[in-house]
Amino acid sequence: MHQAVIAATGLYTPDQSISNAELVEAFNAYAVRFNADNGAAIAAGTVEALTPSSAEFIEKASGIRARFVMNKSGILDPAVMRPSIPERPNEEISILAEMAVAAARQAIDRWGKPASEIGAVLCAASNMQRAYPAMAIEVQQALGIEGFAFDMNVACSSATFGIKTAADFIASGSAKAVLMVNPEICSGHLNFRDRDSHFIFGDVATAVIVEAADQAPKTGEGAGWDILGTRLKTQFSNNIRNNFGFLNHCAPEGVGAKDKLFVQEGRKVFREVVPMVSEMIVTHAADLGIDPTGLKRLWLHQANINMNEMIGRRVLGRDPTRDENVIILDTYANTSSAGSIIAFHRANSDFAAGETGLICSFGAGYSAGTVFVRKR
């Protein structure tokens, strides 16, 4: 069995960003318009009036101050309230693949080896742009990679499921190096007309190269991270759901319904996912002979500040500092599968050889994945 290492990571950040104040202004203008348009029905009690959103609430409930997006103007136009992303001809690279390729190029540069040494590409994300051909195959072609590629979707947990799949491919000898990308245009699945959730998500892409330990440098800059152990868990729940899918057009009455975008029972998610993930981390650590309280850093899925802090407390057994429990929610918001990889990518350069940390993601399904890593 071949051991796997995380050899390099990459990050693509869109150049447009929306502050809470801007988002709230757009929502509140939409709400005023909606209430005026539906004045009679609201007075008759058949339609509920919309209440304004608040930037203070958003920051307190989620820790989010801003989010990067692929298109700002559409989201902030009260008459549109969604990103404006024109379709591209089939001859042009798809937008999701373009983001993934940008992140992948950075990872490949940092890796320092040619893309041709990669044997497989996984596109692991919450929302694929189309049914087929796979986004991963388009990324593979754009980078001139041989071998095979496919898409996988485990919602916010997609990246850790992708890392484990890559590590398993390496263990079994299916590939010597695997590129795993997480392009997320979460703004496309977000209902910007829903006050309870319009602030949650942002857009980004991340990339991870996993390679066989026996061909990676053992020391120095390019040595990467030993993958000490990976574990996945799923448990069905309707509390985070998105019913968008190819059968929607077979039931036209449902097209445009709120459940064709992201919906959640936020409080139930909080109550059920925090214990599930905390216990999983602690048990997995024990099985690997790792004391969780001695981890140098947690790179958790960026769900919201309260969930992340509570999981951090339960795992480390103390109030973690921001240095121990990395938070990038304030500028990126929840970026689904990419969140834990952004955190890892941005906050790992101070690790000395032998120091250990945890990449962990969790989300819809429910699903959760843990990847313990040690700096080589």
Binding site for ligand COA (CB under 6 A): 53-54, 57-58, 61-62, 156, 195-196, 200, 240, 264, 266-267, 269-270, 303-304, 306-307, 334, 363
The one catalytic residue in 123, 156, 186, 360 is: 156
Between 119 and 188, name the residue whose CB sits nearer to ligand COA.
Answer: 188
Please state the closest distance from residue 28 (CB atom) to ligand COA, in A.
10
Please state the closest distance from residue 61 (CB atom) to ligand COA, in A.
4
Please state the closest distance from residue 64 (CB atom) to ligand COA, in A.
9
What torsion do the CA atoms of 83, 86, 92, 97 make, to the nearest 10 degrees?
20
- 156 counts as catalytic: yes
Distance (Å, whole) CA 373 – CA 355: 8
Between 215 and 242, name the residue whose CB sits nearer to ligand COA.
Answer: 242
Between 269 and 295, name the residue whose CB sits nearer to ligand COA.
Answer: 269
Between 225 and 262, name the residue whose CB sits nearer to ligand COA.
Answer: 262
Residue nearest to ligand COA (CB): 266
Question: Residue by residue, what is the 3-state secondary structure of the chain?
Answer: CCCEEEEEEEEECCCEEEEHHHHHHHHHHHHHHHHHHCHHHHHHCCCCCCCCCCHHHHHHHHCCCEEEECCHHHHHCCCCCCCCCCCCCCCCCCHHHHHHHHHHHHHHHHHCCCHHHCCEEEEECCCCCCCCCCHHHHHHHHCCCCCEEEEECECECHHHHHHHHHHHHHHHCCCCEEEEEEEEEHHHCCCCCCCCCCCCECEEEEEEEEEEHHHCCCCCHHHCEEEEEEEEEECCCCCEECCCCHHHHHCHHHCCCHHHCCEECHHHHHHHHHHHHHHHHHHHHHHCCCCHHHCCEEEECCCCHHHHHHHHHHHHCCCCCCCCECCCHHHHCECHHHHHHHHHHHCCCCCCCCCEEEEEEEECCCEEEEEEEEEC
Please state the closest distance from residue 160 (CB atom) to ligand COA, in A.
14
Backbone angles phi, psi at 240, to 5 degrees: -130, 120
Please state the closest distance from residue 274 (CB atom) to ligand COA, in A.
9
Distance (Å, whole) CA 301 – CA 345: 13
- Residues in contact with 132: Cβ distance below 8 Å, sequence separation at least 6, in sequence order: none
Between 60 and 88, name the residue whose CB sits nearer to ligand COA.
Answer: 60
Q: Is 248 left (phi over 0), alpha (psi -120 to 50) or beta?
A: alpha
Between 17 and 62, name the residue whose CB sits nearer to ligand COA.
Answer: 62
Q: Which residue has the tokens 């069905």?
A: 236
Between 104 and 368, name the residue whose CB sits nearer to ligand COA.
Answer: 368
Between 249 and 267, name the residue whose CB sits nearer to ligand COA.
Answer: 267
Catalytically annotated residues = 156
